[in-house]
Amino acid sequence: MARLLDGAGKLGWVLLKSVLRFAFMFLNNCVAIPSYCLYLLLLQPLRIWDSTTFWHIEGIMFKWLLAMVSSWGWIAGYTVTEWGDDVRPISEEEAMVIVNHQSTGDVCTLMMCLQDKGTVVQRMMWLMDHVFKYTNFGLVSLIHGDFFIRQGKAHRDKQLVYLKDHLDKYYHSRDRKWIVLFPEGGFLRKRRETSQLFAKKNSLPHLTHVTLPRLGATHIILKTLSAQQENGSVGSDTGTLNQTANKRKGLQWVIDVTIAYPKARPMDIQTWIFGYRPPTVTHVHYRMYPIKEVPVEAEALTDWLYQRFVEKEELLAHFYKTESFPPLEGQKEAASRQMILDPLWLCIIQSLAFASGYMWYSVLQYLYCCLF
């Protein structure tokens, strides 16, 4: 009986905490997202007069919004440990980031672990499924210039054309530096069986912890944002005419990011919102490739990209067996780094969001009273 009461008490506390967290996040969205939109509406004259400054300010506010999402997980004890290459020294250089995709929590994890990487978050572009356009954060992503891609054979060719046009129009004009995509094209649990059947049919590696990546978006990004050289690879020493005019070097790195969850249990967005899972450490492994080592021709790029995901498979298999990633080449032991967010900074951002929400509410209420 005592054990039953104890279990009921714990369940009651989890439910109460989940309700309180949801209420806080609902209010957080209600004040932060409208404030972001209204500030940018107010700054439209600046966009016409000095677009560089406008998008710099927008990027700072965008980073703050992503920090708020990060704080939801941080408060619940959901932290990140980083492995592999240290990407902070190249945070101001242009890079394409390829990530394995297991759940909606992958995006939240990236929002958290990239917060301490210089100006990366405020100057990055995301490629995400079109469904996210209709979420609470969809309007923010639309304004920021992220690209929403529709999956499926029926849309594939048109989407790649739209992606190239989007990159030409927004990537350089808004001073973007990093572009993040999930080449698998969907969640692991949804694509694994189809991927394995395709691999068997085409004598490709059998993968369990990742799926075979799709080439289209990666190919378009490399061709559009990098300078093609005679040997079929892409280089960073010279840019396209558009890049040269803007004194940009183009893509200089491909960063291969592998996300691993303890016991292969992915963290989804519902977990971040309600916080019902005990404190959990998500592990993120980075590996950097100079852009000159990346082929741009379709067949060679396919082989290169497949090899990256075979390596991801090996990394994840090692992690699930040992609870750590293998050491880098030349190292005897794998070194990890605990990613830390500053609680004071998070409190300041949250306070600014609620103060802004109150200010805009007062302004709009005053205007309404004056008009009506």
User: CA angle, 28 as apex, 34 and 182 as ends, to 5°?
Assistant: 85
Q: State the alpha helices, DSSP H only, in 114-208.
A: 138-144, 153-166, 188-201
> In whole angstroms, how far apart are CA 293 and each of 212, 252, 288, 289, 297?
21, 10, 11, 7, 12
Per-residue pLDDT tens digits of the chain, which is 372 residues long: 656 656 666 777 778 888 889 999 999 999 999 999 999 999 999 999 999 999 999 999 999 999 999 999 999 999 999 999 999 999 999 999 999 999 988 999 999 999 999 899 999 999 988 878 877 788 999 999 999 988 777 777 888 999 999 999 999 999 999 999 999 988 888 889 999 999 999 999 999 999 999 998 999 999 999 864 434 455 544 343 344 444 567 899 999 999 999 999 999 888 888 888 999 999 999 999 999 999 989 899 999 999 999 999 999 999 999 999 998 877 778 889 998 889 999 999 999 999 999 999 999 999 989 988
243 part of a folded domain: no
Give Cα 153 to chain centroid, integer Å.
24
334 part of a folded domain: no
Q: What does 4-46 look like in DSSP terms, one character per residue?
A: HHHHHHHHHHHHHHHHHHHHHHHHHHHHHHHHHHHHHHHTHHH
Tokens of residue 69, six digits: 């999402």
238 part of a folded domain: no
User: CA angle, 29 as apex, 28 and 30 as ends, to 5°?
Assistant: 90
Number of domains in the chain: 1
> 191 lies in which domain range?
11-231+249-326+339-371
Phi, psi of 287, deg, nearest 5: -140, 130
Tokens of residue 275, six digits: 């916080």
Contact by Cβ (8 Å): 334, 325: yes
Residue 365: exposure state from Cβ atoms within 10 A (0-12, 13-18, ≥19): exposed
240 part of a folded domain: no
**Which CATH number does the domain housing residue 34 bear?**
3.40.1130
Q: What does 87-115 look like in DSSP terms, one character per residue?
A: -GGGTTS-EEEEE---STHHHHHHHHHTT
The alpha carbon torsion through 110, 114, 115, 118 (nearest 10 deg) reads -160
95 part of a folded domain: yes
Name residue 273's amino acid: I
Dist CA 263 CA 48 (whole Å) = 51
Tokens of residue 200, six digits: 């068997």
Strands 79-84 and 281-290: parallel
4 part of a folded domain: no
121 part of a folded domain: yes
Dist CA 350 CA 356 (whole Å) = 10
pTM value is 0.89
236 part of a folded domain: no
- For the chain, how big is the Rg over CA atoms in Å? 22
> In whole angstroms, how far apart are CA 196 and each of 98, 200, 212, 313?
20, 6, 8, 13
Residue 26: exposure state from Cβ atoms within 10 A (0-12, 13-18, ≥19): exposed
Dist CA 261 CA 181 (whole Å) = 19
Dist CA 67 CA 115 (whole Å) = 7
Give Cα 151 to chain centroid, integer Å.
18
Q: What share of the chain is helix, strand, coil (3-state, %, to 5)?
A: 55, 15, 30
Q: What does 290-333 look like in DSSP terms, one character per residue?
A: EGGGSB-SHHHHHHHHHHHHHHHHHHHHHHHHHSSPPPPTT-SS
